Chains A and B, each alone.
Chain A
Amino acid sequence: LIQSDLICQLSQAVDRPSFNPTGKLGGQLTDRIRCEVGSHDQAIAIHAAEWVSRFYPDVSARAHIDYVELESDRRSPTQLDQLWRTVLTNERLIVEGAASRASLLTDLMA
């Protein structure tokens, strides 16, 4: 259905004495991941990054040309990775389905 050459790599957990995916204390520990973005995904990834913090206020995202950085003091790197893949997939489905959705709505409103 969908092709992607996006590679997301966990890079590092910063400022954390130990990894504790289930018991994070808000405001104390910040996790950051860096997700590499393939050339075909750059436009979608930039849009997706813009929406991350809007829908998930505990996460901030910064899009660069070929990678995206996400950080949160409430989510582990694994959780951030899953979140990014979800947001990216969502954005892709929105973009790919835009024409179809518009056509369906036009049919309905007619």
Chain B
Amino acid sequence: VKHTYLCALVILLLPALARSQTREAPQGDGIRVEIVQPYNLWYFPTVLPAGYHVSDVARAYVEPPGLDKHGTFKWEVVGSKGFGALGLVPSGERGLVQTVTKTDDKYVNIYTKGYSDAEGDVTLRLTYTPPGASFPARMDEKTLTVRTVRLVIESDEQYIPGAGGSWECRRGMKATDQFGINAIPTAIDINEFFAGWKSLYSGENWQAPAPWPLADAIEWCDRVNPGASSTIPLPVHRSGSGDSTPVDEAQQTWRYGSMTVGSGDAFLDGEVNWRRNRGYAEHTN
């Protein structure tokens, strides 16, 4: 069997040897291995927004051609975050593992299970052992960053004059990756959910906060407006008497991956609080 493998290997190596006369000669035995993995990977706890990949098939590219059908392919997830962010899907088994070894099969399924703490903290390592005993194993590594979604306050409070001279507030928000700087590549559905709504003014009848979904968002602004001109209490002019008297407040959780209020995954840093005073509304964190 060993001799059969060696013969096959010699035949496979012939074209490469012929090419080596006109190109820069490959080092040593001319066998080279490289990891091919096309997609940028994302981690979402429960949702799967369109246009994002949470799994992929990595494969080994082996030179000379044809050799990739033979040999042992050992795949590992290493790096400071490593297996905390990325796992391998073993054939015929459940769950993700850190190491998979395959014979005569250059493919491996990868699946995200967390997100990176630092760029490039996940490494996919392939150790390829060519068939037969004559050639040493060789290795390739690919550095990866598994991304997830963070809510970033893009602009500080912006006030717009509203009813009764009071000010509504708007705050620019943006979906980024976990590093808070890089914008997400594809728009996602988002929604806001309110909890802990609290009335702070006896007898007030300001319209209770109503959560809104938004389709295909990357950037948006969150608008909070005080009561209308016929409500109790009446809104007052900003900087007028009683303008900072609180009327109500709520906690807001921003989620992505769903247009259903309260569904989807919560953004990192997705908790925002706001309060409405008689003269102005404000985000309080």
A and B part of one assembly: no
Interface residues of B (CB under 8 A from A): none
